[in-house]
A and B are shown apart, each in its own frame.
Chain A
């Protein structure tokens, strides 16, 4: 008899707590950003495809599905660190051999350009302007430095050049100031 009472009691308790937990789960549901969105936020959006995916978002989806976090050369170590924090995994060194330390942008040697539009088609962010048979040029402010236009150019007239330093962007690198020697 006492066993049945105990069973009843336990059963009712289980029901009550189950109901409470279920209610709490619905009532206090936290709408976190979908993981993919968060990852996409961290990625540098160069859309360069160096990770092997066609753009940043596909890579973000791949990471969410368990791909490595170290395939983004433009993002560099900072991005990997942030991704590691987000995903709760160990930060790994960058997959690619070298990271360009300085920011670079594409530059079209305009007198060599034949106006083939191939680079325009390659540019993931529409940062190259020009028309067929017309000279093309790069909108420096929009170029993400992804290198994707370099390969398609049939006359190799695209270079990746370091972004020109300016007073606004100067980072107080005093050691880089050339010391001028004057004869006294």
Chain B
């Protein structure tokens, strides 16, 4: 018993089940040389012409592109680029009817050729000199995808890890009419062999089998001549029978092996490439000509000249037909591809794409289509013709009944849609169409099932999240209540007691956190909250302990406190200034007694105040964590004394400003002292103020809950006298807000619940949590999507 390889070497060719013998009608076109066409007026280049995803568009409307220039760029492995078939201008990138049975619109680049056909620089490679990676890269960059039918990216198919026994070159071309590969072999056999050699380099197979139907003697002869004395290249003539050019059928013919269901030929050590693809590879590597044209058979009796043409990718089919002398008949069919597996098009502006091997424009008499569908008579002719040994009539029955389980049982998925069954069916039933619909339905059902599963998971996750959030709110409320109690108890005591409270809180939290199945995060969050609260308390105590001492804040020991006090004072001052503009002119209310403003030298006082403020600001800037406190400090502070102090400060400043106004020569002093930003020019200050206000407004819009604070800033500005003061204040506050914003941003970025918020801030906290949840949802969705795309 000779081994398989010995049998193959001996020239044995096997057979496959079924098959039909439709009239081939290849003699009409296989004697004439491949014709060249004029460059069409417009080229419609679909961005995706293969199985996979489109690349990223590299050009924009109006760009001039050169012949062979890449129009898209492959961003992942499943993408291959498309190239400009000639030089010209990009007219548009828009939706255009696709060269697909559905006639759905797809993104298409429309190119207006300029007729110069100007090449981009080309860099031919020597396959002997470069490594495999470079070759693969070149194949991908040249936009090569399978040219036989499906359009699978070639670089993926030839980038193999497993050992390859046989490289099969599919030169069968079993569909009637089509002679594109035949002509290519007749005219360019040596290029094809060069392409095969590159494939051999990439795959290192044991042998190269070139399968070709025995009705192409000239092509066989020219291939054999081109091969010469090369070892382990076998040209195998297979009997003319449709569909011997099917991948699985040809494998069976040449090696007597079957590709197991659901597997790839590679799994049995076989890689198959179309002869046109081999040619394209040779052109891409040896001449750096990307896939920008292909041989297309244009046939049918409505044409004056039936012939093969070398068509640029993107040439509208109407151009091809008209160039061949097309005379339409009523109810004309135009078929892209062969009569057995091609599809009819509704719109002849669709372009030639990489997989287009034939355009048929037959007359009704020439290509008799099936007429009205009759009842199946169970004759079994379909089963006899089926190359996959299916039972088409059973499949028809279950397709009609939408019985997907039975369809799976009868292996619908193994149908290659070759059309042999429908061709022989005496009842003229469009069997393949039924199967396609059934397959689409099954795919849809699978998608739906997957989606339902996902929806269920999402629903469950959401339900759980809502429950958790509810629980959290409940807990937080309880804890806050507990803290209030603790606060009341601790309020009269020292900071030590605060620490004790904190510890106590921590304990209770741990206790409450443990029995529940909450994560550590919650405990952590609560702990932080407690810390912050304790800190607040500390602060409050400190403030309340020293309220009467230095109201002007210039002599404050604690810089933080000073900053806060100053800020408060300024805010109040502005408020007052706004409320009673006339009071500014009268600098002598009784309360001023407590203030240390020297009446004599207004200037000095102003300067001092400004310096104080500047210092305070600096401090505030230096220690952003202090900014967390202003809100509580503000609300906690509204004491009588502080108010008085504020009023005093305001008056003092107002006076200072007045003086400054009155004596322009002195103005340089307060201005730099304040913030260094507002120069002498009051205009600039106004601008600054405006900017500050704008910023404040933005903030107010973005965070309505803080809007009560910026409001006075806005209204503080239209004061004539105290302009500068207002500006200063505004800037100061704007900065403060910025800082506040920053800190808040930080909080957002970090764990949503880490903010030490008082009750009033519970709403934003919730929002943060939501945002995080949304982000998580999107992440999940993406993950699922990826998961989905893999098995399909």
Contacts and interface: CB of A to CB of B under 8 A. Distances in A.
**Does a CB–CB distance below 8 Å link A and B in the complex?**
yes
Interface in A147-179: 165-167, 169-172, 174, 177-179
B346 A167 contact: no
Contacts of A125: 455, 458-459, 462
Nearest to B347: A180
A6 B229 CA distance: 98
Contacts of A84: none
Interface of A: 40, 43-47, 55-56, 117, 120, 124-127, 129-133, 139, 141-142, 144, 165-167, 169-172, 174, 177-180, 182, 184
Interface of B: 98, 100-104, 106, 328, 346-348, 433, 436-437, 440-441, 443-444, 447-448, 451-456, 458-459, 461-463, 702, 767, 770-771, 773-774, 777-778, 781, 785
Given A56-B459, A130-B774, 6 more contacts: A120-B770, A125-B462, A126-B461, A131-B770, A131-B771, A172-B440
Q: Which among B98, B102, B702, B773 has the highest number of chain A CB atoms within 10 Å?
A: B102
B96 to A, nearest CB: 13
- Chain B binding surface SS class: helix
A165 B102 CA distance: 10
Q: Which among A126, A133, A177 has the highest number of chain B CB atoms within 10 Å?
A: A126
Nearest to A47: B459
A6 to B, nearest CB: 54
A138 B774 CA distance: 12
Nearest to B332: A184
Given A56-B456, A178-B346, A144 B767 contact: no
A126 B463 CA distance: 10
A180 B459 contact: no
B785 A141 contact: yes
B363 to A, nearest CB: 16
A56 B458 CA distance: 13
B467 to A, nearest CB: 13
B437 A171 contact: yes
A111 B564 CA distance: 42
Contacts of B456: 40, 45, 47, 56
- Chain A binding surface SS class: loop
B25 to A, nearest CB: 25
Q: Which among B453, B461, B777, B778 has the highest number of chain A CB atoms within 10 Å?
A: B777
14 contacts: A45-B451, A126-B458, A127-B458, A129-B774, A129-B778, A141-B451, A141-B781, A142-B458, A169-B444, A170-B440, A172-B102, A172-B437, A172-B440, A177-B346
B771 A47 contact: no
A117 B444 CA distance: 32
Contacts of A131: 767, 770-771, 774
B100 A167 contact: yes
Q: Which among B444, B447, B452, B777 has the highest number of chain A CB atoms within 10 Å?
A: B452
Contact of B440 (A56, A171, A178): A171
A56 B781 CA distance: 21
Nearest to A56: B456
A43 B455 CA distance: 11
Nearest to A169: B444
Contacts of A180: 346-347
A172 B104 CA distance: 11
B346 A44 contact: no
A85 to B, nearest CB: 11
Contacts of B777: 126, 129, 139
Given A131-B770, A131-B774, A171-B444, A165 B348 contact: no
Contacts of A169: 440, 443-444, 447
A167 B156 CA distance: 22
B781 A142 contact: yes
A170 B104 contact: yes
Contacts of B770: 117, 120, 131-132
B436 A172 contact: yes
Contact of B455 (A45, A172, A182): A45
